[in-house]
Amino acid sequence: MGEIINVTVWNEFRHEKIHEEVAKVYPDGIHNAIGNFLKKQPGLEIRTATLDEPEHGLTQEVLDNTDVLIWWGHMAHNEVKDEIVDRVYNRVLNGMGLIVLHSGHLSKIFRKLMGTGCNLKWREAGERERIWVVEPGHPIADGLGEYFEIPHTEMYGERFDIPRPDELVFISWFKGGEVFRSGCCFHRGKGKIFYFRPGHETFPIYYQSEVQRVIYNAVKWTAPVKGPEVHFGNVKPLEDI
């Protein structure tokens, strides 16, 4: 095992406070549900941050000490200050990993990094989802079978308005007939981004072992590497010309 990966789990943390059916599923908030299973994994240091903390819990110091940021938001995307979005954006370009979960597809940070609308089709009918691994050699697929199922979930359907992913790890099928690119990898600057679809707030999806495994794998995949420091601009030739 190499160095410790510092993970910050960010949650908007509003549904859990105002919707009883969500509080029943995630009494301590989605951030703690995710943080608690990650704490049991080797090699990770976990902290959480939420929207209503000063600077949304994402001060420059916190971000400078974050290797991987996990993002869950839904009803209050517009309350995230642009200044904080810019701060996260710059950290991603400089190598911080970012895992965007479920309804985070419409977050300011994801849309800024994608450069597209990031919208999709959806339906809340509690239907079954079958998630197929389409890139079995990918590190994010480590430990999974050919597919796994989520018994009751919200449907997300194509078209998902994102740029073509650099790597596509999962495709979902839903009982109602739609399909969705549910595990998408992107590179932006030195940073790696993973979008993972599962995680609607009224279903206990973040307690499911395969989902937890994917998030853990994604933390390891998006974590920064010690690559070269790049110098841009005018340069002298390395050989005589």
Shortest separation between residue 142's beta carbon and Zn ion, angstroms? 26
Shortest separation between residue 195's beta carbon and Zn ion, angstroms? 14
Part in contact with Zn ion (CB under 5 A); list of ranges 62-70, 90-98, 139-147, 153-161: 153-161
Part in contact with Zn ion (CB under 5 A); list of ranges 37-45, 63-71, 103-111, 166-174: 103-111
Shortest separation between residue 187's beta carbon and Zn ion, angstroms? 27
Rounded to whole angstroms, how far apart are CA atoms 149 and 114? 28
Residues 184-213 touching Zn ion, rule: CB under 5 A, are: 200
Q: What residue has token string 């951030």?
A: 31
Backbone angles phi, psi at 105, to 5 degrees: -60, -25
Q: What residue has token string 């701060």?
A: 87
Identify any residues that bridge with 186 across adjacent strands, giving them in sequence order.
193
Return the number of other C-beta atoms located less than 10 Å from residue 1's C-beta. Answer: 6
> Measuring CA to CA, how many Å separate 53 from each of 57, 58, 176, 198?
5, 9, 39, 26
Q: Which is nearer to Zn ion, 103 or 222 (CB)?
A: 103
Q: Establish if 14 lies at the interface with Zn ion (CB under 5 A).
A: no
Six token digits for residue 48: 């959480």
- Chain centroid to CA 160: 16
Q: Rg of the Cα trace of the chain? A: 18
Q: How many residues form the binding site for Zn ion (CB under 5 A)?
A: 3
Q: Which is nearer to Zn ion, 19 or 47 (CB)?
A: 19
Part in contact with Zn ion (CB under 5 A); list of ranges 4-12, 51-59, 97-105, 111-119: 97-105
One-letter amino acid identity for 138? H
Q: Which is nearer to Zn ion, 39 or 159 (CB)?
A: 159
Alpha-helical regions (H) of 6-94: 15-18, 20-25, 30-39, 60-64, 82-93
Q: Establish if 103 lies at the interface with Zn ion (CB under 5 A).
A: yes
Tell me how long the chain is.
241
Shortest separation between residue 15's beta carbon and Zn ion, angstroms? 9
Q: Which of 154, 178, 182, 186 binds Zn ion (CB under 5 A)?
A: 154
Q: Establish if 181 lies at the interface with Zn ion (CB under 5 A).
A: no
Interacting residues with Zn ion (CB under 5 A): 103, 154, 200
